[in-house]
Amino acid sequence: MKYLFSVIAIFLSATVFAQVEKGDFSAAGSLSYQNFSSDGFSSSTGQLFLKGGYFFTQNLEAGTSLQVFLAEGAEGFGIGPYATYNFLTTDGKLLPYAGGQLSILSLGDSNLNTVGLYGGSKYFLNETVNVDFGLSLQKGFGDFDGTLFGATLGIGVLLGKLK
């Protein structure tokens, strides 16, 4: 019986090794809570992010994000490119990352454009599915001249090489 449990433990540990590779595609969806301030005004908002990316190297991923912005009494939609550097770990379950993003967001008659930095970690539940937690700091430009600080929780899927 002890032998059976050892074999099962080795099998399970081998199946959760998730190492990204050059040529992999990724898809993710996340919810973000943000608190922003501008000229003494402060408000909280939520965003839904859908991201798709490509691994140009084992560490470097670039792609685009689609965003739905939800604020009190208003909705907006946006798009923007991002680039992420992934810090590979030896066990392959945890994947810390840092990156930058540009967001072009339309909210009614206003453009809430931002450029910012983010960081976080993905924890792989198996070889392809991960839970993602991150923090971001973004600076607005255009019609929005404020700062956004956000926390994001999401689910991601590593699609591998699509042929």
- What topology is assigned to 2-160 in CATH? Porin (2.40.160)
Q: Tell me: the pLDDT tens digits for 67-79?
A: 888 777 778 899 9
- Mean residue pLDDT across the chain: 82
Q: Tell me: the pLDDT tens digits for 95-137?
A: 999 999 999 988 777 788 899 999 999 999 988 899 999 999 9
Could you give the CA distance from residue 11 to residue 23 in angstroms, rounded to a whole number? 26
Any idea where the domains of the chain sit in the sequence? 2-160
Q: How far is CA 80 from CA 13, 51, 112, 123, 139, in A?
A: 37, 10, 12, 24, 14
Q: ∠5-6-10 over CA atoms, to 5°?
A: 115
